[in-house]
Amino acid sequence: MPISQNYLDSHLFDRHHNGLHYQVELVHFHIFHFQEH
């Protein structure tokens, strides 16, 4: 079941305060998403 864009946006927005951690999660998400295909 795909993650809703709303959930993803709010999750990343919450993390945005953490700067580096936000970037790391974003990279991990893209890697995971790429590997699924």
Q: Which residues, including other chains, have CB under 8 Å from residue 21's CB and lie 6 or more apart?
A: 15
pLDDT at 24 over 60: yes
Across 9-13, 16-20, 27-31, 33-37, the highest mean pLDDT is recorded for 27-31
Contact 22, 16 (CB under 8 A): yes
Within 8 A by CB and 6+ apart from 8, the residues are 29
Please tell me the predicted confidence (pLDDT) of residue 18.
58
Q: Computed over its alpha carbons, how large is the radius of gyration of the chain?
A: 10
- As a whole number of angstroms, the distance between CA 4 and CA 7 comes to 5
Residue 29 has pLDDT above 70, yes or no: yes
> What confidence score (pLDDT) does residue 12 get?
64
25 Cβ contact list (under 8 Å, min separation 6):
12, 15
* pLDDT tens readout for residues 7-17: 766 766 665 55
